Structure 1
Amino acid sequence: MRAIRGIWRWRHNPLRRTTDLVEAWVALSALFLVLLAAPLVGAVVGAVAQSALQQAVRDQRDSRHEVTAVVVRRLGGSPFEADPDTGTGRDTRTRVFADWKAPDGTPAHGAVMSGLQTPHRGDRFSIWTDVHGRLVARPLDSATATTHAVLAGIGAAFAAAAFVEGGRRMILWRMVRRRYARWDQAWERVGPDWGRTGTGS
């Protein structure tokens, strides 16, 4: 609103310079771009990210399978906290040697991380594998994918707003430099006669 009032006030002001009007229009344009274009960019980026991430969720659900593993023996090392990005923050993981069957029925075995605090031979727990029984990470959760998409949209909106503001500042910086250059030229013309009698000063 200040930019609009400024433009209206400067329209017929006898002290108005062309640069003043241009500066007001640049500020108004930047305001509209920040209020309209930045949210639009954020929405588009968020929608594209959501579509891509949800497709990744579907692909991972199709290619990754939850199977039951049986503890053969516990391996060395003390339990440690699970990755906060994949767990609840309270999950404890223990390294064990286990047997399991792939979705296609092929037997498999190897060292895996279990959610058992004190694993014993014969204990069962769930792991994720591909169709051939190779260990893979848990598939991406739909809600987590949506959260990432929202964050991407917000980040894109802020980046667009910062780009607009940077452009506005660059334009004003160039205008101020040009204005100072004109003042220097005017002082050079007036300077030698400044204060002398009969020179109109």
Structure 2
Amino acid sequence: MTFRGPKVWLWRWRRNPLRRRADMVEAWVVLTAWVLTVLAGVAAGLTTAWSVEHGMARERVEWRPVAATLTERAPGEADASVSAASGERVWAKVRWTATDGSTHTGQARVRAGSGAGTSVTVWTDPQGRLVNKPATAAQASIRAALVGVLVGVSAAAVPFIGGRMLRGRLERRRMDQWDAEWALLGPLWGRTTG
């Protein structure tokens, strides 16, 4: 078991005759890596979260519900015992009229077994294309936070890993220097003065 003395905080920054230039370089590398890790992670995470939430807010404003009609019977069997909200949903062909008066057709999720001519609600963007129902403000906040955290952690990993790699390289260089010094001074240990 190796005994190590008490840990001295910031020892690389203190004046000490045993402190080498490599110790100062390593201290600056570690400090810079940590600062960049924190700044990159926070900046990327907050920017991404804001962008995602802003995009979803724009969707809530621009996307509109439109009444559509099934053009053919939906696949599957209609189950009268299942409420409309919790029934099985399948893809079926629908037709709707956009705000500019043009007629469009597409695939939308509807209750299984719904007959042709059944009225359903679909969501469209300003160009009249089918889109998903926009996320509520609470859902958008949760999604933005999750995406922001993932992007922030990913962005923070770059300077962190770079700092670790640079520190490892400095460590290898220091060990090589010690090996060279040991090769020079090691044989002198066995000699006695006399």
TM tier, shorter chain? 0.5 to 0.7
Q: How does 1:20-169 map to 2 (within 5 A)?
A: 21-22=23-24, 25-26=27-28, 29=31, 33=35, 38=38, 40-75=39-74, 77-78=75-76, 92-108=88-104, 110-131=105-126, 133-159=128-154, 161-169=156-164
What residue in structure 2 maps to residue 195 of structure 1? Answer: 190
Separation in 2 of the partners of 1:118 and 1:143? Answer: 33
Contact 1:93 1:114 in 2 (8 A): yes
- Find the partner of 2:8 among 5, 9, 26: 5
Would you identify which runs of 4 or more consecutive aligned residues in structure 1 move more than 6 Å?
Answer: none
Match of 1:100, SS? strand
* Aligned residue pairs, count: 182
- For structure 1, which segment, 151-160 or 172-181, has the greater mean C-alpha deviation from structure 2 after superposition? 151-160
| Larger RCO, structures 1/2 (Cα 8 Å, 6+ apart) | 2
Q: Which runs of 5+ in 1 are unaligned?
A: 80-87
Q: State the 1:137 CA deviation.
A: 3.4
Taking structure 1 as reference, are residues 102 and 191 closer, same or farther at Cα in structure 2, changes over 3 Å only? closer
Taking structure 1 as reference, are residues 100 and 140 closer, same or farther at Cα in structure 2, changes over 3 Å only? same
Contact 2:69 2:117 in 1 (8 A): yes
2:173 maps to 1:178:
yes
Taking structure 1 as reference, are residues 18 and 115 closer, same or farther at Cα in structure 2, changes over 3 Å only? same
Taking structure 1 as reference, are residues 179 and 143 closer, same or farther at Cα in structure 2, changes over 3 Å only? same
- For structure 1, which segment, 158-167 or 4-13, has the greater mean C-alpha deviation from structure 2 after superposition? 4-13
Q: Which runs of 5+ in 2 are unaligned?
A: 1-5, 78-84
Separation in 1 of the partners of 2:10 and 2:48? Answer: 40
- Find the partner of 1:18 among 10, 17, 20: 20
Separation in 2 of the partners of 1:21 and 1:141? Answer: 53
Taking structure 1 as reference, are residues 101 and 164 closer, same or farther at Cα in structure 2, changes over 3 Å only? closer
Percent identity over paired residues:
28
Any idea what the Cα deviations from partners look like across 1:105-149, whole Å, max 9, x if unmatched? 3344x3522331220233221112245644333335443433333
Q: TM-score, normalised by structure 2?
A: 0.64
Separation in 2 of the partners of 1:168 and 1:132? Answer: 48
Contact 2:41 2:156 in 1 (8 A): no
